[in-house]
Amino acid sequence: MKLDGSRILVTGADGFIGSHLTEALVRAGHQVRAFILYNSFNSWGWLDHAAPDVRGGFEVFAGDIRDPHGTRAAMRGCDIVLHLAALIAIPYSYHSPDAYVDTNIRGTLNVLQAARDLEVKRVVHTSTSEVYGSARYVPIDEDHPLQGQSPYSATKIGADQMALAFHRSFGLPVTIVRPFNTYGPRQSARAVIPATIIQLLSHKGPIRLGALDPTRDFNFVADTVRGFVCAAACDDAVGDVVNIGSNFEVSIGETARMIAEIIGVPLEIHSDAQRMRPAASEVERLWASNVRAKQLLGWAPEYGGKEGLRRGLAETIEWFRDPANLAAYKADVYNI
**Averaged confidence pLDDT in the chain:** 97
Among 78, 99, 1, which Cα is nearest to 34's?
A: 78
Q: Is the pLDDT of residue 204 over 80?
A: no
182 and 210 in contact (C-beta within 8 Å)?
A: no
45/21 Cα distance (integer angstroms)? 14
Look at residue 2 and tell me whether its pLDDT is greater than 90: no
User: Lowest mean pLDDT: which of 82-86, 170-174, 214-218, 274-278?
Assistant: 274-278
Q: Whole-prediction pTM value?
A: 0.97
pLDDT tens by residue, 217-233: 999 999 999 999 999 99
What amino acid occupies position 296? Answer: L
CA 74 to centroid of chain Cα atoms = 21
Q: Which residues pair with 168 in a beta bridge?
A: none
CA pseudo-torsion sign 276, 281, 282, 288? negative
- Percentage of the chain exceeding pLDDT 70: 100
Q: Look at residues 36, 109, 16 and name the one whose alpha carbon lies nearest to residue 66.
A: 109
Cis peptide before 185 (omega within 30 of 0): no
pLDDT in tens, 75-109: 999 999 999 999 999 999 999 999 999 999 999 99
Q: Kindly tell me if the per-residue pLDDT of 325 is higher than 80.
A: yes
Alpha carbons 25 and 54: distance in angstroms, whole number = 9
Q: Where are the alpha helices (DSSP H) in the chain?
A: 16-27, 68-75, 90-95, 97-100, 107-118, 151-170, 192-202, 221-233, 252-263, 291-292, 305-321, 323-326
Residue 295 burial (10 A CB sphere; 0-12, 13-18, 19+): exposed
What mean pLDDT is predicted for residues 53-73? 97
| Contact in structure between 63 and 110 (CB atoms under 8 Å) | no
**Is residue 152 annotated as a catalytic residue, yes or no?**
yes
Smallest CA-to-CA distance from 175 within 99, 239, 129 is with: 239
- Return the pLDDT at 171: 98
Using CA atoms, how far apart are residues 227 and 271, in angstroms rounded to an integer?
Answer: 35
Q: What is the pLDDT of residue 336?
A: 80
**Domains within the chain, CATH numbers bracketed:** 7-180+221-244 (3.40.50.720)
Q: Is the pLDDT assigned to residue 250 strictly greater than 90?
A: yes
129-144 tens-digit pLDDT: 999 999 999 999 999 9
219 with 287: CB under 8 angstroms? no
pLDDT of residue 165: 98
| Phi, psi (deg, nearest 5) at residue 62 | -95, 125
Are residues 63 and 53 in contact, defined by beta-carbon separation less than 8 angstroms?
A: no
Backbone angles phi, psi at 14, to 5 degrees: -85, -5
- The answer to whether the CB of 81 falls within 8 A of the CB of 68 is no
**pLDDT interval class at 205 (50, 70, 90):** confident
Residue of 100, 132, 152, 329 marked active site? 152
Q: What is the pLDDT of residues 16-54, one digit of tens each?
A: 999 999 999 999 999 999 999 999 999 999 999 999 999
Distance CA 259, CA 219 (A): 15
- DSSP-assigned beta bridge partners for residue 178: 243
Residues composing the chain: 336
**Residue 182 CB coordination number (10 Å):** 24
| DSSP character at residue 103 | I
